[in-house]
Structure 1
């Protein structure tokens, strides 16, 4: 009996959920944060994205592709927050 891997749509959904969280966090930080604490909040958002990625990937209970899904979600969140950092520091 062979085990099926996580369906592609579900795998994309787990990754895009973390990317969406990072994007929403970046927008909220840009709008509501004091300019002196932007860096700290962005670092916290990245840490929360990593934890959220781990929770979502462990909740799927699928070990095939775990590392690639985790790497994709964390890398995407890092890129989103890096771009947000540049934009926030340009507007402040």
Structure 2
């Protein structure tokens, strides 16, 4: 990814302009949190609120976000997971 290449250029692992990016995939949720469908909706809302409240203005929040290589947590979506769901069903995981 571009971020990896930039990091490698900064630390000298990869000389700048040694390679070029010719295509990048659309953005995606790289770290998704899920729960069982029987989780109490109130508890689910509290957990979501806790994640969404993490900011880089707080030192601990900043460390968490940097650890995930992101600027913020965003609400999840149930759209676009069909292929993964079918694969999980085929493997008997769900």
TM range (shorter): under 0.3
Which structure shows the higher helix fraction? 1
Return the index of the structure with the highest Cα Rg. Answer: 2
- TM-score between both structures, scaled by the size of structure 1: 0.27
